[in-house]
Structure 1
Amino acid sequence: MTQKSILVVEDNLETRELLTYNLKNAGYAVREAGDAVKALELAARARPDLVLLDVMLPGGMDGLEVCRRLKQDERTRGVPVIMLTALGDEVDRIVGLELGAEDYVPKPFSPRELLLRIKAVLRRSGSAAEESSAGFSEGGLNIDFEAHSVTIDGADIGLTSTEHKILRELVRAKGRVLQRDRLLDTVWDTDFDGTSRTVDTHMRRLRGKLGAYADWIETVRGVGYRFKPLAQAKE
């Protein structure tokens, strides 16, 4: 099995060394960056399998801005990001998810919990990359993007074209939270004069058709939606 690589972006030397020590002991290859500029350079050049990114960084560019740039750069857009945030700092967590981060871990953190979060994100990222181009299948739910078909236990649930597009965007986001505005731009025409309530209405109808799988579309309060199958929700 190919060794997974992780880029640790943390300005505090003691914390960075602790993270590196635990990650290497867990079998990961580790690269380190103590500031935003080096982090962006290493991410683009080394293409890590995951970036562990502290929100508080020196030099005028914080971790949230680094996350934004990583998700905008074609070279690093698909690299999952886990944000390290201050305990109880809900604003940083929400903004990080809005920018495309896959998960966040509050400080101080348990090394064991962090390793479990990393493992879960890498697993989701890997399985989603394989499935997202053609579709998704788990339990009784089967999504075939090419055939524009969504079935539950073999029965087609009759999604509209818009509902199918919404579900496709959620699945292809690989567990990332999608903002309502982004869904408006990608699912509807850019000139469409809709609001966030338009997205909420279609999401409610989509969940209704998904029946027992409705909870797999998770609402992230104040941010948007993400697709999180039951197996992932238990991680």
Structure 2
Amino acid sequence: MTKILIVDDQKSVLLTLEALLTQHGYKVTAATNAVDAMRALAAETYDLVITDAIMPGGSDGYSLTRTIRRQPLLAKIPVILLTGKRERSDVEKGIDSGANDYIVKPIDPELLIAKIRNILTSKPTDSVQFASAVVQFKGEWEIKTEVMSISELGLTVISAIPLPVGKILRLNSPIFEEIGIPKIPLRIDSCEEISGIETAYRIQTHFVGVTEKELSPIRLWIRSKKSF
């Protein structure tokens, strides 16, 4: 039986996770802090660690993950970080600490189980993958734009002109109407020229100020496309 260690300072979260994971056939051990988590890892072998990124007491999920990665006997254990922060910089911080994947709160049970199954069958070198769907929607800010994909974090678009990294824009696109949410501001994360295509740029963006009320229909819409 697959054994999972869950770490969170909120007992309500631990109870919710334990009930969900047990229901899907996993054996679960809970810890409320990083110190107890390391004691559990020293006493027993686990197949996966799921830890909250932000915990009080000076030892958060980032430092716990880094500690795991420094231990030769533990270094290859997959780690999933849980957090309410949705900035791409926070995601990058988690991945840089050694996490294999990342779940944005509130936790989507179906998405979490899909990620667990994926991570337990993936190669160690596989990179983090967010729930996303390939799309083809028109878009417009200063010029016509094609929306190529959408994830929990933001949109990937193709544009005929480059846009400055850090700029915040509102994209006019029917994709928001189809999902059933208002137009969410987007911050430009990267802008790369596409070789072989004249005057075309691939632009990665992330949602700014997305609410839990808006995140839920985005996830449901992506799930309807059956792409994790």
Which TM-score bucket, shorter chain as reference?
Answer: 0.5 to 0.7
The answer on whether the counterparts of 1:10 and 1:34 sit within 8 Å (CA) in structure 2 is: yes
Question: C-alpha displacement at 1:100, in angstroms?
Answer: 1.6
| Contact 1:85–1:106 under 8 Å retained in 2 | yes
Q: CA deviation at 1:85?
A: 1.4
Which residue in the other structure is 2:162 paired with? none
Segments of 5+ residues of structure 2 without an aligned counterpart are: 129-203, 206-226
Correspondent of 1:80 among 78, 96, 105: 78
* 1:39 counterpart residue number: 37
Matched with 2:126 is 175
The one-letter amino acid of 2:83's match is: T
Q: Within 5 Å, which residues of 2 pair with 1:1-235?
A: 3-124=1-122, 128=123, 173-176=124-127, 235=228
TM-score by length of 2: 0.54
* Contiguous gaps of at least 5 residues in structure 1: 129-172, 178-219, 222-233
Deviations 1:176-216 (A, max 9, x none): 57xxxxxxxxxxxxxxxxxxxxxxxxxxxxxxxxxxxxxxx
Which consecutive segments of 4 or more residues in structure 1 shift more than 4 A?
A: none
Contact kept in structure 2, 1:36 and 1:59, CA below 8 Å: no
Letter in 2 for 1:175: D
**Percent identity of the aligned residues?**
32
1:92, CA displacement in angstroms? Answer: 2.6
* Structure that is richer in strand per residue: 2
Distance 2:39 2:64 in 1: 11
Deviates more, 1:89-98 or 1:52-61: 89-98
Any conservation in 2 of the 1:82–1:101 contact (CA below 8 Å)?
Answer: yes
* 3-state DSSP of counterpart to 2:9: coil
Q: State how far apart, in whole Å, the 2-side matches of 1:69 and 1:53 are.
A: 13
Amino acid at match of 2:26: Y
CA distance in 1, matches of 2:125, 2:13: 29
CA drift of 1:86 comes to 1.3
Give secondary structure in 2 for the equivalent of 1:114.
Answer: helix
Number of residues of Structure 1 aligned to a counterpart in Structure 2: 133
Structure 1 counterpart SS, 2:51: strand
| Aligned match of 2:159 | none
8 Å CA contact retained: 1:8, 1:31:
yes
Q: Distance in 2 between matches of 1:11 and 1:89?
A: 22
TM-score norm. by structure 1 comes to 0.53
